[in-house]
Amino acid sequence: MNKKHFTIQISEEGINVLLTALESYSRLGLRQFRYALECLEDFDKLDYDVQLSIEKHLQLFIPGDNNLGIYNKKAEKFNKAFQIKKELEKYLHLSKSDGIKTAYSNIYDGSLQDYPYLPRFIDENGKRIEHKKEFDIPVQIQGKLKKLIEKKKFDEVWEMIYKNIDFKGIKGPRTKISDDLKKVIVSEPYLLKT
């Protein structure tokens, strides 16, 4: 059976509402009532001890396991909500920073696996949005790079690239040269701390 996929348009405000709802839902499923209720402005203003006593009261009267972890089999549907939340959160923060991780934070983690139910972000041409940064390779070195690649002198290729391109403190786990030798593509880019 083919699963249907839907295309929706949603604003940043809408994504933020979904993030809060998914966080609360996943916390409720884990019986972490204090965290689930943090979305309520008045609850958040209560003293910590009062919040804790409300949580203990709910745990006392709502039966279930108070020690479920997000990856426990019994929490599967709540884990799905959490993974969707992580993917939305990652996309939102990367879209605000031109696709570059600007801080060391779990907001950029996304889901731990590529689950089939996760949201996919597509551009106006229907292509999946990948977070990457592209840098132009100066025309004057493209011919030299081609010759070095043909000779399999890859260390010299990268030495020439790093000498001629200002990466502005950006690194990534994967860096490659486009097939036409016009761009260097940094996947999952992050900003180095200075």
> pLDDT digit string (tens) for 2-14?
678 788 888 999 9
Cα 39 off chain centre by: 22
Distance CA 155, CA 127 (A): 33
Q: Tell me, yes or no, whether 55 lies in a domain.
A: yes
What is the domain range of residue 42? 12-108
* Residue 194 pLDDT: 54
- Name the domain count of the chain: 2
Whether residues 22 and 76 share a domain: the answer is yes
Name the residue with higher pLDDT: 125 or 112.
Answer: 125
Tell me, yes or no, whether 64 lies in a domain. Answer: yes
pLDDT greater at residue 50 or residue 65:
50
pLDDT digits (tens, 9 = 90+) for 82-108: 999 999 998 888 888 777 777 777 777
Q: Which residues contact 76 (CB under 8 A, 6 or more apart)?
A: none
C-alpha to C-alpha distance for 169 and 191, rounded to whole angstroms = 6
